[in-house]
Structure 1
């Protein structure tokens, strides 16, 4: 839409497959640009994004490169030029929990690269500074190929980031073309016509949604009260319980335990 060329290489996505996506970050915008990639493989509507809890209070990334170098010095690791050292605690926790419930089919390791300009924040996008080109290299690892112990899984994740560093070094130091060498472009499972229709409908909906809400708030007192009550409830649950995700997890645990409790009563 804004003249951004997206090139996807490596392994194909499997529509409907349950996977964890891990990716290096060059900018705060990476996860938004990834939507271009996921939409073409029927993944976007199913995507869930995991963030650190602290980002709810302090959004953004403060001096990430310096913290990555400090982490490397503390743990006797090499300093990276093109990636940050991964913090593996969250990764191993998510993988272990999903694997315990038999809800994980694969890990998709994605390397993102910007051969030209790299907008760092929303401010750059508002100025019209969109990346001319984005490359996503996808490597799919079936869950059966991953180690089972926490320590080995952490080492596995660090190994992937070592590979990313070398892959990106070759990418950016290439003499002629910016390209992940030896990798073919993945054909999308959705046609460009279908993608165009989805984009058109999305733009139309979100263009009309905001002014329609403002108009309803201006015209109807009932709508104003609805928004006020909703905001109050949202702020209170955040302060009292810590977020909607905490309430959702508590409800899940309660419903998950209910059949077990009923079977105990019947006995």
Structure 2
């Protein structure tokens, strides 16, 4: 067995087992907090996710030797923002976790991905992303529009700004999807793209319009990803150890005030960004070039934090696995949690929507009652004075 395969197997096992046991032993106990205080629950799950996201980045860069290189603008973690990115392969999201760590100053972020609904039923990672409050869509715009609006309204209600990542292409590049993109271009008299797909602008346009009108949008970050050497295609490549030597991200920040306010101009703006991506990637992949978006790039790594995360999360995973097979209480807890997640995932639209339902049922009613109570004394005072 070659070294690359051994490292790939170790990488996947460490990463995926950490996800599953972190969900069982850290996230699942927080379910009880969900019934007590939704704001605390959201804050706690966000903090845990931010701490955990160091782990896959550490595995990727320390164990597998991948360099994540950033050029362009930094990401302000305090921004309420939309992140748009080209979707080169099925693993872009994985490398983006590390990129957000490097691109955010300070190295922290509150990013929620817009994902296909099927992801939420994947054992471990899908369950964790439900609790993390990610946004799942069903490829039914009438339904998706309502779900996205509910999530955005909830984020505003709990007074927390998030960065919402959406892939406007809708899927990654493959021979099949590229052929469909070419067909769309030919039918509409557009340029054929070789390095990106023509974007589907409906979701992005809605997010931009609604977040801007809802005072949730400070900026749009346009992210372009490129792979100079090894180009993975699917999750199998992780297992086989086919990890890129480098992944380059170029980031451009657009303040919200520069974004058009109406649907048609926003759609046009997104299409123009994709045209610019095609040009940038054509230059990036040009034969016999250095394959960088800019000569001014950085591959800085927060080594101390990464090594700490690598050791701490690995020890946590080993200990909780040991606990599972030596404690009947731990085993029964895992069985109960698994059964609960399966039921919730298959027979509802996810814990993240149940969280919003609880807020709308209890917290909103409390706020309305408090507002009514504070307005009563003033009214009575006016009535007495009138009498």
- TM-score w.r.t. length of structure 1: 0.85
Q: 2:297: which partner in 1? A: 185
Contact conserved, 2:84 with 2:221, CA < 8 A, in 1?
A: yes
Match among 327, 331, 345 for residue 224 of structure 1: 331
Q: 2:271 matched to 1:158?
A: yes
Aligned pairs (5 A) from 1:131-170: 131-170=244-283
**Aligned-pair distance for 1:170?**
1.4
Cα 1:252–1:187 change in 2 (3 A) is farther
Contact 2:77 2:109 (C-alpha < 8 Å) held by counterparts:
no
Q: Are the equivalent residues in 2 in contact too, given 1:9–1:138 (CA < 8 A)?
A: yes
Q: Deviation string for 1:73-114 (max 9, x for gaps)?
A: 454433210001222222122223322321221011011111
Q: Distance in 2 between matches of 1:200 and 1:34?
A: 19
CA contact under 8 A between 1:88 and 1:154: conserved in structure 2? Answer: yes
Q: Does 1:39 align with 2:146?
A: no
Q: Is the 8 A contact 1:16 1:43 kept in 2?
A: no
Question: What is the aligned residue count?
Answer: 261
Q: What is residue 12 of structure 1 aligned with on the other side?
A: 74
Q: Secondary structure at the match of 2:75?
A: coil
- Is residue 130 from structure 1 mapped to residue 243 from structure 2 by the alignment? yes
Q: For 2:366 and 2:291, how far apart are their aligned partners in 1?
A: 55
1:194-236 deviations in whole A, cap 9, x for unaligned?
A: x112211221133223332222121111112211111122122
Runs (5+) with no aligned partner, structure 1? none
Do the aligned residues in 2 keep the contact of 1:10 with 1:186 (CA within 8 Å)? no
Aligned to 2:307: 200
Cα pair distance change 1:89/1:245, threshold 3 Å: farther
* One of 190, 200, 210 as aligned partner of 2:317: 210
Q: CA deviation at 1:17?
A: 2.2
Aligned counterparts of 1:205 and 1:45: Cα–Cα separation in 2:
20
SS at structure 1 position matched to 2:115: coil
Say which of 46, 51, 59 aligns to 2:115.
51
> What SS is found at the alignment partner of 2:297?
coil
Kept after mapping to 1: 8 A contact 2:77/2:110: no
1:218 and 1:209 map into 2 onto residues whose CA distance is: 15
Other structure's SS at 2:290 match: coil
Structure 2 unmatched runs, 5+: 1-61, 127-170, 377-387
Deviates more, 1:145-154 or 1:168-177: 168-177
Residue pair 2:324, 2:331 contacting (<8 A) in 1 also: yes
Post-superposition offset of 1:160? 0.4
Identify if the C-alpha distance between structure 1 residues 187 and 218 changes in structure 2 by more than 3 Å, giving closer, same or farther: closer
Retained in 1: the 8 A contact 2:121–2:345?
no
Aligned mates of 1:104, 1:16 — CA distance in 2: 11
